[in-house]
Structure 1
Amino acid sequence: MRASSGESVLTRAVRILEAFDQTDPVLGVSEIARRTGLHVATASRLVAELVAHDLLVREPDRRVRVGMRLWELGTRASPALRLRVVAMPFLEGVHDVVGQHVQLGVLDGGEVLFVERLSAPGAVINYTRIAGRLPLHASSSGLLLLAHGPAALRERVLSEPLPRYTDNTPSTDTELRSRLAQVRRQGFSYCPGFVHDDALGVAAPVRDARGTVIAAFSVIVPNEPGAAAVVPVVRTAARGLSRALGAQAADAPDDTEKSVSR
């Protein structure tokens, strides 16, 4: 069934679900209509149907939030589920060592999607969230996944504007190509102050049984002297996770002091 605009009911329902985010997890129908561009009556009808299927849940004040049913359906067949389960002991081990942010990101479209994250009180600022996204050029996880991703994706990202978060964020074609080559050469990404001046991101590749890079294992730590000491910790954990996923060989360790480039 399609609306007079030619847009299907499913498309409009997806737009409603996409209106919710971590900043605003509960919304009223009027706000949903504003965010989606739907007529209030249309939004109200579709919200009622989504509530009837437990995909949305209505609060006592009549506003709605995403229901657990949607999480259940998404998790049931998610390819990230096994990855998260296998990765957790490695994430916990690194978190015990660094006491900051440890996270796991996967390539999804033209962004890095974070499927798991462990943090700690007082840890350095970090803009990532579970189920959150960042541009590929600006984060350690994104840079690593882009370096090992499809050539067509790299060319597409390189051809588009590269938003600058700080003075250290790669923002030109030449600079980003150089960074990507460096990642492939040294076997990890090292991104001091790319998203925030005070934070350093380090990411290493996670490979499957075929040797394909399927995820980025990363930490976010304070951007300060001596921070490069986390590189071998991250690389060792990523290699261990890769072996647990069936990889026969992973990136060999190198001399961190020589390979880290700012």
Structure 2
Amino acid sequence: MTIEHSDWTHAPKPLHTDHLICAIGDVHGRADLLDPLLETLADDARVPGVSHVTCVFLGDLIDRGDQSLEALGLAAGGLGAYLGDRLPVDDVLLLGNHDAWLKAAFEDTLTPEMVDLWAANGGQPTWRSLRVPPMTPPGKLADALRKSVPDFVQEAVRGMQGCRQIGDYLFVHAGIDPRRPFDDQPLEVVTWIRDPFLHPAEPWPFDTVVIHGHSPEDPLEEPTVERHRINLDTGAVFTGVLTAIEMRNDLYRFVQAKG
């Protein structure tokens, strides 16, 4: 396992604060990468001038990888668990399209059609990690998950948000639709959209820069930086690279756990 920091770079828009802002891309059950990444972010926060930290998890904590329960537990504890009472931390868990199926299970709104889609998108490793009994029928899956998953994890998942705006930056799982008003972005859009967000046909209509995950892009191991967006999804479950961003004042850099 290695940790790599990029050089500090001028951000597309300044934040005008020493407040440290971190965001973490799609984990997909790679708790073995998330743990050292959070430890590194905590170490990076212990520098002069930083008096407050916000840590945003961009969603898709689960599925495909084998350590979804551990990843959920780490995110539920957040960066605050690594910093203790040394600094105030605002941990923000955003909803990804994969997390939405688990949230539906905890809220008893999981339909058989959703179970089929979940299974086709890497759900079975998650069910094993969350200790669902083998051969559980689809109609009993939600009940089995509610019985097997710790309450603090269920609470964290039910509390997942669609987005978080900080200054001129919007943190969201998948992106936003430039054809819709900025304040009219349904949950299905912010958890699922690819085009036209990734490659808008018209000039970007908003002043906001979007920091997102959901769509790994070539080269997969590197984050993507465009004028209107920064993509932190480096396909951790396939590449072994989990990416975070750190932002202070008018600067940002990437932090990657590789293994």
Larger helix proportion, structure 1 or 2?
1
TM-score (norm 2): 0.23
TM-score (norm 1): 0.23
Higher relative contact order structure (alpha carbons within 8 Å, sequence separation ≥ 6): 2
